[in-house]
Structures are given as C-alpha cells and as structure tokens.
Amino acid sequence: MRVRTMWIAVLAALVLTAPMPAAAQSKELFIPLLVYRTGPYAPSGIPIADGFVDYFTLLNERDGGINGVKLVWEECETQYDTKQGVECYERLKGRGPVLVNPYSTGITYSLIPKASVDKVVVFSMGYGMSASSDGRWFPWVFNFPTNYWSQASAVTRYIGQQEGGLDKLKGKKIAHIFHNSAYGKEANPTLEDLAKKYQFELSLLAVDHPGQEQKATWLQVRRLNPDWIFMSGWGVMNQVAIKEAASVGFKMDHLIGNWWSANDSDVVPAGEGARGYKGATFHAPGASFKVHAGRAPRRRRRSARRSTTGASSTRCSLPRRSVPRWRSSARSRSPARKCAGASRIST
C-alpha cells in the first residue's frame, strides 16, 4: 500500500468514526506536525516535514480536504529530542488533533501512555514501538504497514537469498550498526533470535548521538570483517557511515540501510563511493505515480503557488516554479525518490 493511500485511509477513517473534537466540529481536521528542521537530524527531518506540508496542501487544494473537511496544521520544532517532542504535543493537544505523528521512536514511546487518556491516535508509520502492532493491547497506536521486527526478518531473508539460501547463513558474520537510541535498538532482539536460529555471528555496534564521530565503530568493522552490514541510522549518522564504509573499502553492495537510512541526502556526500549501497523500504521509490503527474484544476492553479493555506506555520522553503508545488517537491525532495548511486530492496 502506498504512503499516500495509507494517509488517506487513516484520515478518512478518523473523520467518519472518531469522536468529533473541536477542530472537526468546525469543519477542520487539525494535525500537529512535530518536525526537526534544525539540528543534526535536519538532513532527514527537512524533506519529511516538507513532504507532509506539500501533501496536506495537495489534499486541500485538489480534493477539498478529506471527505470535504479541510486539513489544518501547525509545526513545532523538536530537534528529534524526546523532551521537546512531548512539550510540543502538550502545547498542541488542546486544539483537538485528529492524530499525532511523532516521527521519533523516543517521542512515540512517551506518547503511547497518553494516547488512551487524551483519546488521540498515535500514528507511527513504520517506526515506534514494534510491539504496538498488536491492536489488542495498543488500540490507540497504529504503526502499519510494518515495523522494525519485520524489517529485521526481511533483511535477514534477503541476505540469505543473496548467499544462496538461509541455510548458507551459518558461520557468516553480520553486523548491525545502529543509532544508540530506542529506535536503533528496536531490531536487536529479532536479530539476536535469528542469529541463533540460522547460526550466523551477530555483532551489535552502537553509534552514539548524533553520529558524527564513527571512527571507533569502523575500526571495529575492519577488525570484525563482517560479510554483511545492516544499518539503522538517522540524520547525519547515515552520511558519515556511508562515507566511512567507502573509506575502509567495505563492499558497498553488502551494506543495507533500513528505511530511515535510504534517502538521497544519505548517499550524496559519499559520491561515487556510495555506488551499490542498498536501502530497505516499505514503499515503491520513484516519482512516476499518479499523485506526481496530477495537475490542480485550473481554478485552483493560482493558489497552488501561494504559501501553504490553512497552516499556522509559514516555514515552507519550496522554490517557485511554473508547476504546482507538490509536483516540484515530489521530484526534488521526496523521501520516496530512488537514491542516486543506491538501490532499494522491498521488505
């Protein structure tokens, strides 16, 4: 299922079934945008924040919102910091949000206990607490289409296929280089179980916040000489790791980043050194979908070039072009775009 389809499905379902907060009663759907446009995670946070603003703008201007209800939003800067993220949530929840998308596993962990009390859906798409996939115990949390446990299994299966079968993993060395946070650690229990099952040697290498200093990690990589590396990185950590991998001569087609380590900005700094790098995704890459080709009706074309309507935030750095803003941004900044010099594997 495509990312846009998931967003429409979630929002439409909430419009039809959720208790009507103040925002919905006034014919508006309020969504707080917890963003990080500044700090060491900005390389990952900026395109995501821009993508949400572009897409919400598209829904309002092309479709009139969701089921005739316009979307409104307000950005709050978290710098990917859990404390700041919780403060943003507490400040904005009084506006009756239909859901909150924390875009941080640490913030998600902190908001899960609040969800059932505040009656606010936590939408952590492909991130957050993997265990919350079980709706019997976490009815207010939605993390479809998949989670970190499933991705760890899928990447292990992919590596097995490349080696000629899962039975060929016996004796192989696989390293997991991960962001030393709740997010980065999510895949470790699954990888440890799979290492026992398939008898491969697993090395867990943590990279401390923010990830700019990795010399010691890659010295360990040289000493361990793993056959494959799986990386759960974020922000500047990804750029540094790919450049370090290239500098030590690691086989780039044996380095697989998870879906938060598979963006254009992650591979560009390494240049040709990133050639062969793979990123595991839960969506199809590229800009050839109908949403990218669609044009706004003529009567709305002029408004498509103005600053985002309905938004409390004015932080939108989109360039002025002769095409609607969602078309230009989808081609230039979308996280779904195929990485230059990298390939992607579907999980």
In terms of Cα–Cα distance, which of 73, 67, 53 is closest to 12?
67
| Dihedral sign computed on CA atoms, order 320, 321, 324, 330 | negative
Q: Which pLDDT value is given to residue 225?
A: 97
CATH number for the domain harbouring residue 28: 3.40.50.2300
Q: Considering the domain boundaries, does residue 331 fall inside one?
A: no
In terms of Cα–Cα distance, which of 99, 11, 61, 73 is closest to 294?
61
Beta bridge partners of 188: none
- Determine the structural domain holding residue 267 and report its residue range: 148-281
Question: How far apart are the C-alpha atoms of 117 and 80, rounded to whole Å?
Answer: 24
Considering its fold, how many domains does the chain have in total?
A: 2
Q: Are 164 and 265 in the same domain?
A: yes
- Answer with the one of 257, 281, 305 that is the final residue of a domain: 281
Q: Are 45 and 160 in the same domain?
A: no
Average confidence score pLDDT of the chain: 82
Confidence class of residue 292 from pLDDT cuts 50, 70 and 90? confident
Q: Are 152 and 122 in the same domain?
A: no
Q: Considering the domain boundaries, does residue 336 fall inside one?
A: no
Q: Are 15 and 133 in the same domain?
A: yes
Q: Would residue 311 be called left, alpha or beta, if left means φ above 0 and alpha means ψ between -120 and 50 degrees?
A: beta
How many Cα atoms sit within 13 Å of 63 on the Cβ side? 16
User: Tens of pLDDT along 46-90?
Assistant: 989 999 999 999 999 999 999 999 999 999 999 999 999 999 999
DSSP string covering 275-333: TTEEEEESS--SS-SHHHH----GGGTTGGGSSPTTBS-----PPP-SS-HHHHHHHHT
Sheet holding 342-346, edge to edge: 201-207, 173-179, 228-232, 255-257, 277-281, 342-346
User: Tens of pLDDT along 297-334?
Assistant: 444 433 333 333 344 332 222 232 322 332 223 333 33
Q: Are 155 and 99 in the same domain?
A: no
Q: Which pLDDT value is given to residue 299?
A: 41
- Answer with the one of 281, 311, 328 that is the final residue of a domain: 281
Q: Considering the domain boundaries, does residue 43 fall inside one?
A: yes
Q: Which pLDDT value is given to residue 7?
A: 52
Q: Considering the domain boundaries, does residue 322 fall inside one?
A: no
Q: Are 103 and 226 in the same domain?
A: no
Q: Are 156 and 216 in the same domain?
A: yes
Q: Considering the domain boundaries, does residue 161 fall inside one?
A: yes
Q: Considering the domain boundaries, does residue 341 fall inside one?
A: no
The alpha carbons of the chain give a radius of gyration, in whole angstroms, of 21
Name the percent of the chain lying above pLDDT 90: 68
- Answer with the one of 101, 116, 142 that is the final residue of a domain: 142
